[in-house]
């Protein structure tokens, strides 16, 4: 138990669907992150929120839309995805003071048909 | 830019010792992280090195040479449960009050009886 939870754990969606991934951290951290992990590729940073403000957007397509309503919750809204978006989506959090450890959630395994 | 290289796969025998190497190229340096990730699970923090030398933590040790851009993770007395991917990561030194980690593709370790 790392203190970071994600729901759902598995998701299958069609290309025309709209769905949302949820992440919650119980560690009192100020920074939260979305990563994409595809098979045999490095973890790719997608978005970073620091104190509920988006501070990084790594050229992610607009079909991925993050939301951070407070420092404990992070969402990733998905719409009109492509099959190549199928991957493991990981959420992480850190204290938000610099080069400190990130704590990861278990991820959402997404399959786009 | 930043680049991280680590072997894709390694195999080892239960009870043995294995060394997983990581080389990196960064425009600045703020330490190096090692994470363990079992299949379908969250990456979990193993170690953080910012100074040269070996840091030991139970069966796992991590070594850093900043002048050579090189690190290794040493796993002793291997157990079957050590079968996992091992991820090397370095922070982007310019990311401010959060930790923008750049990950290697990971080394998948298989431990055999």
Q: What is the pLDDT of residues B41-50, one digit of tens each?
A: 889 999 999 9
- Which tens digit of pLDDT belongs to each residue from A9-35? 999 999 888 999 999 999 999 999 999
Nearest chain A alpha carbon to B29 = A99
| pLDDT-based confidence at residue A98 (cuts at 50, 70, 90) | low
- State the count of interchain CB pairs (< 8 A) between A and B: 73
- Which tens digit of pLDDT belongs to each residue from B48-107? 999 999 999 999 999 999 999 999 999 999 999 999 999 999 987 666 667 788 899 999
| Identity of the residue in B43, B98, B104 whose CB atom sits nearest the CB atom of A55 | B98
Tokens of B86: 């091992």
Nearest chain A Cα distance for residue B48, angstroms: 8
| Identity of the residue in A2, A102, A107 whose CB atom sits nearest the CB atom of B101 | A102
Q: Can you tell me the distance from the alpha carbon of A54 to that of A67, in angstroms, rounded to the nearest whole number?
A: 9
Which residues lie closer than 8 Å to A43 by C-beta, 6 or more apart?
A: A35, A36, A37, A90, B43, B87, B89, B101, B103
- Which tens digit of pLDDT belongs to each residue from A47-73? 999 888 888 777 899 999 999 999 999
A101 alpha carbon, distance to own chain's centre: 17
């Amino acid at each position: 138990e790392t203190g970071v939870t994600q729901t759902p754990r598995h998701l299958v969606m069609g290309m025309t669907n709209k769905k949302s991934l949820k992440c919650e951290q119980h560690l009192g951290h100020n920074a939260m992150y979305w990563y994409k992990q595809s098979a045999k590729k490095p973890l790719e940073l997608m978005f970073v929120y620091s104190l509920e403000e988006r501070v990084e957007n790594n050229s992610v397509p607009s079909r991925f839309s993050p939301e951070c309503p407070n420092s404990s919750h992070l969402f990733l809204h998905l719409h009109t995805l492509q099959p190549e978006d199928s991957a493991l989506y990981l959420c992480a959090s850190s204290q938000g003071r610099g080069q400190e450890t990130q704590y990861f959630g278990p991820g959402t395994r997404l399959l786009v048909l | 830019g930043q680049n991280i290289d680590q072997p894709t796969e390694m195999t080892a025998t239960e009870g043995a010792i294995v060394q997983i190497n990581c080389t990196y190229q960064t425009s600045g340096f703020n330490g190096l992280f090692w994470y363990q990730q079992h299949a379908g699970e969250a990456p979990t923090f193993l170690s953080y090195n910012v100074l040269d030398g070996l840091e030991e933590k139970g069966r796992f040790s991590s070594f850093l040479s900043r002048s050579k851009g090189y690190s290794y993770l040493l796993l002793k007395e291997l157990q079957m449960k050590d079968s996992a991917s091992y991820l090397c990561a370095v922070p982007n030194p310019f990311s401010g009050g959060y930790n923008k980690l750049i990950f290697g593709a990971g080394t998948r370790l298989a431990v055999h009886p």
